[in-house]
Amino acid sequence: MIQAFRLSDDHAGGIMSFKSIEKSKAGFGTLRSIEIGVTSRCNFRCSYCGAYDLQERRILSLDEVKQTVETLPDLERVKLSGGEVLLEFDLCESIVAYCSEKGIHTQINSNGTLLTDEKFDRLEAAGLGVLHFSLNHTDAESHSAFYKVTEKMFPKIVKAIARSVASSSIDTVVETILFDETRDRMTDVHRFAADLGVRKHEIQMEIPGVHQGYENTLSSGAICDAITRLVTARDPRTTIFFSCLSAYFRPDSESWKRLQPLLRDPGVIYASCIEGKAQLHLHSNGDVLICELGAPEVIGNIFDTPLLRIYEESEKLQEFVRSKHEEATFSCFRHLDVQGKKADKPSVTLLPMPQLISRPPQDG
């Protein structure tokens, strides 16, 4: 079996842990992580899906991935996230094995429906670091009704999570999006996952995508309420990771202040956002994006310009990184106009806090 990547930073046994780059508060200047959407194909059609350009049918080959990885001297982590990348299982396995041999930590993001015991064995043997599953429901009926898939899918996901948890080398993470569909069942999903043996639960803020606008988006008050209920009921065996909170809260807002005691809970991690700073997204057609969900701004294409040069020279990226430090801005939804529709001219130039209509992420 190929050994998973070892680093000397924050974790027991030296194995790079989930979100350790985010926890190190990486700044701009060193590209330490890339997320690669090797394929945009998917066996699901999630209403909330914000993945970039799901229509693309091109697949990034192993050689193309290698050529890029080899030019990144500081790369520590490769995340594979599409689409459903396990539709290209052999490719994922080869990339994981290649990265493991180079000492690069790997993560696969999956909806969990395509994994079999044999595939687990192969991913373990290839040295996979993290398997990251989406889980927004606790029963087949509501899962099937929401995703419009057969009820047979949910038990497959549960089985896959249980198999992953049993692995001694793969770290299992379950992610739940906090949005309309889950706000009243966050605690149930959390307990369900904990009872399956999951010890890392990521709570991802819903990022309005260009196709769905703000229709599932909660106000910051509703988010605070849901987080309060969840953290209060946290299973003590688990750690909860919050992602993309800064997309919803101004640092000086009352709701952000209200969240602070909860975020200081010893079982809670609010890792800083490294998108654009220490991580970029590489799409299957070669496009390079600052962040797939929150800032889907194409800043170059690896078939024209090497990734490292894009990172070092993109003015759009530098403007984005600078803007992240400014307050009173709504840094992550800038590709949408005030009504949650795709803006005519997506811009990395900061938009002021938008005057949102309907159910916006509001201050306070």
Please identify, using beta-carbon distances, which residue of 70 and 215 lies nearer to ligand SAM.
Answer: 215
Q: Which is nearer to ligand SF4, 44 or 89 (by Cβ)?
A: 44
Q: Is residue 28 close enough to count as binding ligand SF4 by CB under 6 A?
A: no
Residue 45 binds ligand SF4, judged by CB under 6 A: yes
Question: What burial class does residue 339 get, using C-beta atoms within 10 Å of its C-beta: 0-12 exposed, 13-18 middle, 19+ buried?
Answer: middle
- Which of ligand SF4, ligand SAM, none binds 129 (CB below 5-8 Å, type-dependent)? none
Q: Of these partners, ligand SAM, ligand SF4, none, which one is at the site of residue 206 (CB under 5 to 8 Å by kind)?
A: ligand SAM
Applying CB under 6 A, does 111 fall inside the site for ligand SF4? Answer: yes
Asked if residues 354 and 338 have their Cβ atoms less than 8 Å apart, the reply is yes
Catalog residues that contact ligand SAM under the rule CB under 6 A.
Answer: 42, 48-51, 81-82, 84, 109-111, 134, 175, 177, 204, 206-207, 209, 293
- Residue 198 or 314: which CB sits closer to ligand SAM? 198
| Segment interacting with ligand SF4 (CB under 6 A) among 3-11, 39-47, 167-175, 221-229 | 39-47
Q: Sheet containing 105-110: give its strands across.
A: 268-270, 239-243, 200-205, 171-178, 130-134, 105-110, 77-80, 33-36, 279-282, 287-291, 295-301
Residue 353 C-beta: closest distance to ligand SF4, Å: 27
- CA distance linking residue 324 with residue 71, whole number of Å: 27
Compute φ and ψ for 109, nearest 5 degrees: -100, 130
Instruction: Give the DSSP H/E element, type plus range, for residue 131.
Output: strand 130-134
What whole-number distance in Å separates Cα of residue 308 and Cα of residue 20? 22
**Per CB under 6 A, 82 contacts ligand SF4:** yes
Report, in Å, the least distance between residue 120 CB and ligand SF4: 19
In DSSP terms, 342 is beta-bridged to 336
Question: Which does residue 88 touch among ligand SAM, ligand SF4, none (CB within 5 to 8 A, set by kind)?
Answer: none
Q: Which of 2, 7, 15, 42 lies at the binding interface for ligand SF4 (CB under 6 A)?
A: 42
Closer residue to ligand SAM (CB): 111 or 314: 111
Which of ligand SF4, ligand SAM, none is residue 176 near (CB under 5 to 8 Å by kind)?
Answer: none
- Closer to ligand SF4 by Cβ: residue 148 or 322: 148
146 touches ligand SF4 (CB under 6 A): no
Task: Report DSSP letters for 147-212, one per residue.
Answer: HT--TTHHHHHHHHHHHHHT-SSSEEEEEEEESTTTTTTHHHHHHHHHHHT--EEEEEEPPPPTTT
Which amino acid makes up residue 19?
A: K
Residues in the chain, overall count:
364
CA 363 to chain centre: 24
Query: Where do contacts with ligand SF4 occur on this chain (CB under 6 A)?
Result: 42, 44-46, 49, 51, 82-84, 111
